[in-house]
Amino acid sequence: MKSPNCYLNALGLLCASGDSASEIRQGLASGQTNLSSSGEFSAGHPLTLGLYQGDLPSVPLSDQKWHSRNNQFALAALNQIEAEVSTAIDRFGAARVGVIIGTSTSGAAESEFAIQQWVQNGNTPSGYDYSVEELAATAQFVAEILAVAGPVYGISTACSSGAKTLAAARRLIQAGICDAVVAGGVDTLCRLTVRGFSSLEAVSEIRCNPFSKNRSGINIGEAAALFLVTAEAWGVELTGVGEGSDAHHISAPDPSGAGAVRCMTGALQDAGLEAADVGYVNLHGTATALNDQMESLAMQAVFGLDTPCSSTKPFTGHTLGAAGALEAGICWLSLKGDAGELLPIHVWDGVRDPELPCINLVSAETRIDQPLNYALSNSFAFGGNNISLLLGRIP
């Protein structure tokens, strides 16, 4: 029996670029970025960050284990798709609805504050619960808010976490375990990640500059992107998935791009498509020397030099565990657009690195004559834990 097709029906998201689909779409097309400078997470040393500065909803549950900025982000994204998710729960029943959330920080910021208080006065804050930091905490929180009883778990594979949740949701639906899954990624800023990446000398003090000769590292960001995933044909189709774990190095990618090639090729094969069918690729594009080198080589190997592509991290920062879901969401927004609309612009200084293939980075002049039919999103994580998602417009 053929497995059912899988669709990303509805999307809720927020990040440095905004807290609605229309606001974020407008920013991506205009090239207007909203990254900001802050020393809050880096011992007073200012860094450029993808910090969300809008209002967040209050957590409506009394138990303190649910009270974290990560869960507030999840709730803000969930509120945007509340009607669609409620309809799915009513239709399928709570036991047939699952939740999968990718994260790398969970409640780490709250634990940082608690540990600081303990060091200073020997006591943690009243009501502090260490379980706020568990990597499945946000998935459990979403399930608690929705009162669903299907499978609930977290995924933490560094920068591919959010994308991995969509692949996992697809498998639950195709296996007949769930009829609907709320899936995506949520990660919020904390000192652990900002200082950790700084210690790797991977962080740029200025706005990131992907694929430029002058690239100098990443900007850490925060975001939430949640999808309602079902077998019902509306929204955008998740047509193909390519996953790999090449274990080339604990943090550095395979410089040849072989792992990225396997994922992109795998997604195309899974969807039964050719490279020429894909009209846009959202690059992992971290603006680190090694990632941009290997990804441009992989793009050339799979798509040649003509396929429009861009890194959207200058708009959002690198949102780590949320990045894969957020960037799949950006492809989702692009696929919902009309002919003649701008693809997400590649924001950089325009200085080509002569050591990289001259891939077709989207500019303000790049327009498509027909509606975008297929878009690919790349997420490449530590340890070679990589994934490519291929999304398709529904006719």
Supply the residues annotated as catalytic.
Answer: 159, 284, 318
CB of 222 closer than 8 Å to CB of 319: yes
CB of 236 closer than 8 Å to CB of 225: no
For residue 41, which of 222, 165, 164 has the smallest C-alpha distance?
Answer: 222
Q: Write down the residue that tokens 């690195």 correspond to.
A: 353
| Residue 334 in tokens | 């692009």
DSSP 321: G
Q: Write down the residue that tokens 């969401």 correspond to.
A: 329
Q: 116: Cβ–Cβ under 8 A, 6 or more apart, which residues?
A: none
Q: Write down the residue that tokens 């044909």 correspond to.
A: 233
CB of 288 closer than 8 Å to CB of 318: no
Number of H helices, E strands in the chain: 11, 12
